[in-house]
Amino acid sequence: MNIFAKHLIDWYKYEGRELPWRETRDPYTIWVSEIILQQTRISQGTAYFHRFIEQYPDVSKLASADEHDVLKLWQGLGYYSRARNMLTAAKQVMEQFGGKFPGTYKELLQLKGVGEYTAGAIASIAYNLPHAAVDGNVLRVLSRLYAIDTPINSTKGKKLFSQLATEMVPKEAPGTFNQAIMDFGATLCTPGKPDCPGCPLSDMCEAYINNSVENYPVKEKKTKVLDRYMHYLFIRHEDRLWLEKRNDQDIWKNMYQLPLIESYEVLLPEQVLHSKEWQAIFDNAQVEVRSVSNEIIHLLSHRKIHAFFYEIQLIKGEVHHPAKPVYLKDIFNFAVPKLIENYLTEKIQITQS
């Protein structure tokens, strides 16, 4: 075994974290944990992991689930394509792999939502196969260890780091090594203020030797954030509220929301009330606009959403909109984006107090 792997596994033995999904070798359970933890901190994902395994204890249960139920379970976690893809993948396991979770790296890669990282993680942790699992932690650790300037998110960088990681994986303990290097990156070789004095690899770390640890890893690009303006209509009539399902190829696909008037520039309430969209929705109906919320900023990784909530009472007439009236007592059964959840939670509390 190479010296890096030896030190990392030794460190892991004493400093590694105890995590729920480390108590099993079941590939389904490990898969669930890996998908949940994509771009997600353990502190945020753990509760979702427990609820997911409780509701869908095996792949056949998940395969026969309703997509909306899975999205509801995923609500608040973000990157909802993960939930939709898991349902697709579960059906793949039932149909293409006869209900048995695929047992090789190549087969794992065929599952929807499983990329190189996740396939390597499952293959190594569940099956002890010698594949690397290169996540953000591994990129950081390797870039420092070898003082590599190639951007980690460039095509060249991905290939290079994947190669390095694969060479480092010891055939004796691939799963243990992959979890060790990830824990090491998450708790010691951290993005800011890494604990170099307490690091068992500092003697061999090129970046530390050059006193340049903070310069690694190198990334190219930055995502530019676009503004979107969402004018949500909280339309009430007696004990019902209008909700619609988002179907477009867009954020929050297949989740529910309040009827929406969207613009790509700032609109005053006066302009919303006189917009074509508004006129089309309410036509000859009689409504009262009870209130308009302040601007609520909802930040996503690549969008800045400016949201406004219009509280509208339908007095009489019809609402011409694909949205359907649902009973207020049922609204929390619908999967909604965090932005909507926050508003509804606050609004219903006020309504009931």
Query: Considering CB under 7 A, how many residues would be counted as binding DNA?
Result: 66
- Contact track, DNA, 149-178, x by CB under 7 A: -----xxx----------------------
Of 300, 326, 328, 348, the residue at the interface with DNA (CB under 7 A) is 300
Residues 6+ apart with CB under 8 A from 323: 235, 242, 243, 244, 258, 259
Choosing from 23, 34, 67, 346, the catalytic residue is 34
Least CB distance from residue 156 to DNA, whole Å? Answer: 7
Contact between 251 and DNA by CB under 7 A: the answer reads yes
Stretch that binds DNA, among 197-205, 245-253, 277-285, 322-330 (CB under 7 A): 245-253
Contact between 68 and DNA by CB under 7 A: the answer reads no
Of 44, 163, 291, 351, the residue at the interface with DNA (CB under 7 A) is 44
Of 106, 192, 211, 247, the residue at the interface with DNA (CB under 7 A) is 192
Of 23, 66, 98, 193, the residue at the interface with DNA (CB under 7 A) is 193
Of 40, 46, 202, 275, the residue at the interface with DNA (CB under 7 A) is 40
- For this structure, is 34 an active site residue? yes
Contact between 313 and DNA by CB under 7 A: the answer reads no
Of 65, 77, 160, 289, the residue at the interface with DNA (CB under 7 A) is 77
Contact between 121 and DNA by CB under 7 A: the answer reads yes
Of 100, 303, 324, 329, the residue at the interface with DNA (CB under 7 A) is 303
Q: Which residues of 274-310 are buried (b: 16+ CB within 10 A; e: fewer)?
A: eeebbeebbeebebeeeebbeeeebeeeeeebbbbbb
Of 1, 15, 24, 42, the residue at the interface with DNA (CB under 7 A) is 42
Residue 88 or 275: the one with the smaller Cβ distance to DNA is 88
Contact between 250 and DNA by CB under 7 A: the answer reads yes
Residues 148/159, Cβ–Cβ less than 8 Å: no
Contact between 179 and DNA by CB under 7 A: the answer reads yes
Contact between 78 and DNA by CB under 7 A: the answer reads yes
Of 5, 126, 168, 182, the residue at the interface with DNA (CB under 7 A) is 182
Contact between 39 and DNA by CB under 7 A: the answer reads yes
C-beta neighbour count of 212 within 10 angstroms: 12
Residue 103 or 325: the one with the smaller Cβ distance to DNA is 103
What are the backbone angles phi and psi of residue 307, rounded to the nearest 5°? -110, 140
Contact between 256 and DNA by CB under 7 A: the answer reads no
Residue 12 or 208: the one with the smaller Cβ distance to DNA is 12
Residue 129 or 312: the one with the smaller Cβ distance to DNA is 129
Distance CA 128, CA 241 (A): 52
Angle between helices 136-145 and 174-187 (to 10 degrees): 80
Residues that bind DNA (CB under 7 A): 19, 21-22, 33-34, 37-44, 76-81, 85, 112-119, 121, 135-137, 139-140, 154-156, 179, 182-183, 185-186, 191-193, 217, 219-223, 226, 249-253, 298-303, 337-339
Active site residues: 34
